[in-house]
């Protein structure tokens, strides 16, 4: 399958302790109206660690049903237990998701062989094309380049979300295989695309979907001057959406814009007053009225 463009790592809105599907539906419609290429529910930004199994499945199902084929859906169905990842992936396949985002198993820190067997099992048994997700700052474990090259030989392992903070890894990956690379860090989107990445799975596009989509498509069309102009206008937002742990700032930003309730689940908690002011300034610099 072809994966290119801007994919939004969707937040999961809460209200009174429950998943707010009404607010989620509004966000999805706004994303599609803005021209987004795809949506990624229940990833890190979707607070996957605090959703129970039923909620996880409900958010994926609701997203697919609401999208109704108008853009791609890459369902976050990763886990640090292979059997659980397979089970979640099979559910996503059954409701019509286009692909699965598979985070590196966290905390148990498998060997390179363990990583290979884990991702291959999800691809073999899950029923969906797999997007690997390399984010060592979260998982404590990097998918080493040799393992990426080995996994790329599997017909259902189609892409990698690269969030290791290194554009150099894109060169290392693409010099050894033809797997699709999607950037996992908004601020590194253009550097990675200049090396061959085909887009981004974005946090910032929750807030400014049209702008991030336009930036990515400008780069895809080799209009680098326009892409750079958008990058530098949006850069303060790219940076300051991580002034505290994601997704706290992006949910605070959406709440400031009146789109969701500012609600989290412990151990995440509201943004600090000082960080809120930093975020507000970045939002204003991006042209948002707050």
Alpha carbon 117 to chain centroid, angstroms: 23
The 8-class DSSP code of residue 107 comes to S
Question: CA-to-CA distance for 182 and 94, rounded, in angstroms?
Answer: 25
Residues 123, 32 contacting (CB under 8 angstroms):
no
Nearest of 271, 213, 256, 201 to residue 42 by alpha carbon: 201
Question: 7 to each of 101, 182, 208, 229, 279, how far by Cα in Å?
Answer: 12, 9, 12, 20, 22
Question: CA-to-CA distance for 51 and 103, rounded, in angstroms?
Answer: 16
Decide: helix, strand or coil at residue 269. coil
Max CA-CA distance within the chain? 50
Residues 181, 196 contacting (CB under 8 angstroms):
yes
* Residues assigned a catalytic role: 133, 161
Question: CA-to-CA distance for 129 and 58, rounded, in angstroms?
Answer: 20
Question: Which tokens is 20 given?
Answer: 């707010």
Beta bridge partners of 14: 19
User: Strand 14-15 to strand 38-40: parallel, antiparallel, or no bridges (unpaired)?
Assistant: unpaired
Decide: helix, strand or coil at residue 182. strand
The 8-class DSSP code of residue 74 comes to E
């Amino acid at each position: 399958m072809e994966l290119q463009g801007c994919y939004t790592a969707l937040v999961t809105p809460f209200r009174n302790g429950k998943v707010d599907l009404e607010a989620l539906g509004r966000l999805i419609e706004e994303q599609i109206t803005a021209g987004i290429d795809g949506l990624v529910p229940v990833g890190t930004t979707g607070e996957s660690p605090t959703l129970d199994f039923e909620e996880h499945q409900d958010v994926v199902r609701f997203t697919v049903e609401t999208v109704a084929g108008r853009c791609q859906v890459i369902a976050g169905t990763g886990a640090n237990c292979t059997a659980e990842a397979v089970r979640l992936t099979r559910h996503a396949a059954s409701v019509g998701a286009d692909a699965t985002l598979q985070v590196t198993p966290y905390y148990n820190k498998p060997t390179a062989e363990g990583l290979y067997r884990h991702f291959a099992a999800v691809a073999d048994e899950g029923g969906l094309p797999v997007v690997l997700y390399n984010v060592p700052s979260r998982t404590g474990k990097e998918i080493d380049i040799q393992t990426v090259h080995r996994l790329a030989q599997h017909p259902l392992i189609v892409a990698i979300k690269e969030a290791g903070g290194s554009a150099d890894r894109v060169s290392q990956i693409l010099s050894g295989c033809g797997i699709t690379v999607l950037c996992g860090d908004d601020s590194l989107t253009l550097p990675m695309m200049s090396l061959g990445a085909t887009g981004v799975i974005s946090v910032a596009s929750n807030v400014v979907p049209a702008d991030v989509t336009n930036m990515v498509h400008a780069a895809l069309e080799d209009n680098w001057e326009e892409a750079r102009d958008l990058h530098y206008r949006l850069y303060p937002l790219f940076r300051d959406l991580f002034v505290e742990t994601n997704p706290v700032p992006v949910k605070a930003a959406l709440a400031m814009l009146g789109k969701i309730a500012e609600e989290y689940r412990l151990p995440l908690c509201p943004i600090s007053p000082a960080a809120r002011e930093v975020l507000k300034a970045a939002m204003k610099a991006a042209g948002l009225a707050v």
